[in-house]
Amino acid sequence: MTKKTSHVAATSDLFATLTRLADETERRAGCPKRFIAEARAAIAQANARLMAAAPDLLDALEDLVERDRSEAAESGFTDDEMTWLEDARRAIAKAKPLIA
């Protein structure tokens, strides 16, 4: 698992944990329902912002990947430093719908 993948998994785990905590807190008597609604609204807004930005992020990543490996090497990058290129290609493949 790459560092980037672990960050995505950690973010996903955080949202799941927050949702479980909100559900548990809602079940307990002493918690105002307003707090639960605000927490869920904040999570929904964060997800909406990420989804709204996704097409622009994908376009930007595709533009970066269009630079060939040789161009990156000419810029002074070593093979070890160019692993981001393969990571980026995998991320793009995940984001793009399959074309028959």
pTM: 0.54
How many residues in the chain?
Answer: 100
Contact status, residue 30 vs residue 57, Cβ threshold 8 Å? no
- Provide the token pair at 24: 């548990």
How far, in Å, CA of 22 to CA of 49, rounded? Answer: 21
CA distances from 31 to 37, 38, 51 (A): 11, 12, 31
The band of 9, judged by pLDDT with boundaries at 50, 70 and 90, is: low
Contact status, residue 28 vs residue 59, Cβ threshold 8 Å? no
More confident residue, 100 or 75: 75
